Amino acid sequence: MNNRHIYFLSAALTVLSLALFFYKSHVLGFPVAPSAQAQIWTIEAAVSFDPGPAAVKVTLRIPGLTPGYSLMDENFISRGFGSTTRSAPAGREAQWAIREATGPQTVYYRALMYKDPNRTAEDTTPPFPEPPKLDEPSRIALEALIADVRRQSADVASFTTELLKRINRGQGDQSVMLFLNKGSTAADRAKLATIFLAGAQIPARVAHGVSLRDRSGAVRPQVLLEVHDGVQWLYFNPITLEQGLPPDFLIWWRGDESLADIEGGSNVDVTLAVQQSLLDALLVAERRAEQSGSHSAEFSLFSLPIATQAVYSVLLMIPIGALVIMLLRNFVGIKTFGTFMPVLVALAFRETRLLWGVVLFAIIVSLGLLIRFYLEKLRLLLVPRLTCVLTIVVLLMAGISVLSHRLGIQPGLSIALFPMVIISMTIERMSIVWEERGAYEAIQEGTGSLLVAALAYLIMGIHWLEHLVFVFPELLLMVIAVTVLVGRYTGYRLLELRRFKALLPGAGGAS
């Protein structure tokens, strides 16, 4: 296997890993830092009304197409009403119905929205509007105005601005006077503009929405004029003539209809409220991935049950621990009992915490060793002896748990999480090394293992690393890339520099 192949494989894995990582973090918005919070808004519409004697049907326009924002969740809250949602020309509608109701009633619509810069008004280009049906004098006035405005404008945007200017000037303009009453609201003016625009064959509609900047409490819906220039929707404030969608503006419904209407009841009144809150950015990203049709969330760890997710958040750290050990062995040259024994011990340290972990590990291994030396005298065969050591380790663990509980030392309880089979094998190996090579080497190797385990624990315990690997498991491909590279590292290990120092030029050892 030549090295080019290795470098290519390693580079390919790194690129793949980073590409997936950036797609997920930048496009889908999975948070890179742990517990990053995303802004979300709870918007609520409380519809109150007096029911009539018979069946009641309440219709509420609810957000459908909301440029800049996406819907995360919505609820329909009522007592005893049946509720449905459906598409309507104005967007979406929720309908509550009940056969019979007495006394004033309130139904609630609640939605969770989050900012989604990728979302635009993606509805298709609308058809040219029907020319408005008007009586003869009005039609003449309209055409005159349109001709006038058209003269003073270059495109749809400037046409609309000029038109709105005329409408706002209102009183002074003869042709506008015909259509507009005194004390007209913004909604009236926007509606009038749509009529004029229809006369000029420009699709337009009235959009109603709320400003999310009003953090809490009741908000009043505001009106925008939406005009389609053949490519996209343009937004105009009918009063200030400002063009563009204002920041923090959520479009709730469109069209001339009111927010809510009722059949079989009266006094319908809608209160809108907005509340901002923060939510774990993970949830929002997941939701976004789901809605954008990306399968990355569907096939990610988040689709697993919570308990399984918890298991994987630990398991995914094992390669990181193994990486640490690999580096310590191949670059530094530290010896340990068993290749990956320290990783498992490090996992146990997660529960016991480092100090107690080391203390408990030392206690249990030394007690185990003492008993193992006694067993040596009995001259048991290998497998029975191993079984015996394992049983004793389990009993020791139970004993330490009970004792520490009696003494009120809580960390002693978590000793139950120590990998007992691994510990038994460690005791066995250590006792053999002890006998064959002496206590010094056994203790040295044992301490080495413990040190490596502690270091692996510290690195596996880095919170953001854990978060990163769990949210972006593809980063583990980079671990593979590193292992492939290290697997071809044929340079010296750090400890070899010391070991072979007698061979250095001028070391005086030459004979």
Partner 1 sequence: MFSRYRGLWSEGVLGLNQRNGDYILKFNPRRLYPLVDDKLKTKRLALQAGIAVPELYGVIETQHDIRRLPQIVADHPEFALKPAHGSAGDGILVIAGRSASRYRTISGLLLDDAFISHHLSNAINGQFSLGGVQDVVIVEYMVRFSALFERVSFQGVPDVRVIVFRGYPVMAMVRLPTRVSHGKANLHQGAVGAGIDLATGVTLNGVIGTEVVTHHPDTTYAIAGLEIPQWDTILDIAARCYELTGLGYIGVDVVLDRDRGPLVLELNARPGLAIQIANRQGLLRRLRICEERADFSASAASRIEFAKREFAHPVAP
> Which residue ranges make up the site for partner 1 (CB under 8 A)?
330, 333, 379, 381-383, 432, 436-438, 441, 487-493, 496-505, 509-511
The residue (of 54 and 439) whose beta carbon lies closer to partner 1 is 439
Cβ at position 393, least distance to partner 1 in Å:
18
Return the H-helix or E-strand segment holding 76.
Answer: strand 69-77
| SS3 state at 264 | coil
**Distance between CA atoms of 425 and 434, rounded to whole angstroms?**
14
The minimum distance between CB 376 and partner 1, in angstroms, equals 9
**Shortest gap between Cβ of 499 and partner 1 (angstroms)?**
6
Contact 113, 104 (CB under 8 A): no
CA-CA distance, 310 to 114, in Å (whole number)? 27
Least Cβ distance, residue 373 to partner 1 (angstroms): 14
DSSP count for the chain of H helices, then E strands: 17, 13
Cβ distance to partner 1 smaller for residue 195 or 486: 486
CA atoms within 13 A on the CB side of 9: 16
**At a CB cut-off of 8 Å and minimum separation 6, what does 228 contact?**
125, 126, 156, 202, 203, 204, 234
| Nearer Cβ to partner 1 (462/507) | 507
Nearer to partner 1, 154 or 378 (CB): 378
Q: How far apart are the first and last CA of the chain?
A: 40
**Closest approach of partner 1 to the CB of residue 441, in Å:** 8
CA proximity to 103, closest of 44, 37, 145, 50? 50
Q: Closest approach of Cβ 436 to partner 1, in Å?
A: 5
Q: Based on CB atoms, which residue is closest to partner 1, 151 or 379?
A: 379
In this structure, are strands 69-77 and 82-88 parallel, antiparallel, or unpaired? unpaired
| β-sheet with 265-280: strand ranges across | 69-77, 105-115, 37-51, 265-280, 218-219
Single-letter amino acid, residue 461: G
Which backbone phi and psi does 432 adopt, to 5 degrees?
Answer: -70, -45
Closer CB to partner 1, residue 92 or residue 493? 493
**Which is closer to partner 1, CB of 177 or CB of 504?**
504
Q: Which is nearer to partner 1, 155 or 435 (CB)?
A: 435
Looking at this protein, which amino acid is placed at residue 325? Answer: I
140 residue type, one letter: I
The number of angstroms, rounded, from the C-alpha of 393 to the middle of its chain's C-alpha atoms is 43
| Least separation in angstroms between CB 41 and partner 1 | 57
Judged by CB, which is closer to partner 1: 395, or 497? 497
Minimum Å distance from CB 8 to partner 1? 18
Cβ-based nearer residue to partner 1, 82 or 438: 438
SS3 at position 236: strand
Place of tokens 């015909």: 178
| Non-local CB neighbours of 123 within 8 Å, separated by 6+ positions | 65
Q: How far is the CB of 341 from partner 1 (least distance, A)?
A: 15
Smallest gap from Cβ 496 to partner 1, in A, equals 5
Q: CB 340 → partner 1: shortest distance, Å?
A: 15
CA distances to 151, 212, 252, 401, 431 from 246, rounded to whole Å, are: 29, 10, 14, 63, 75
- Give the nearer residue to partner 1 in terms of CB position, either 217 or 384: 384
| SS3 letters across 85-151 | EEEECCEEEEEEEECCCCCCEEEEEEEEEEECCCCCCCCCCCCCCCCCCCCHHHHHHHHHHHHHHHH
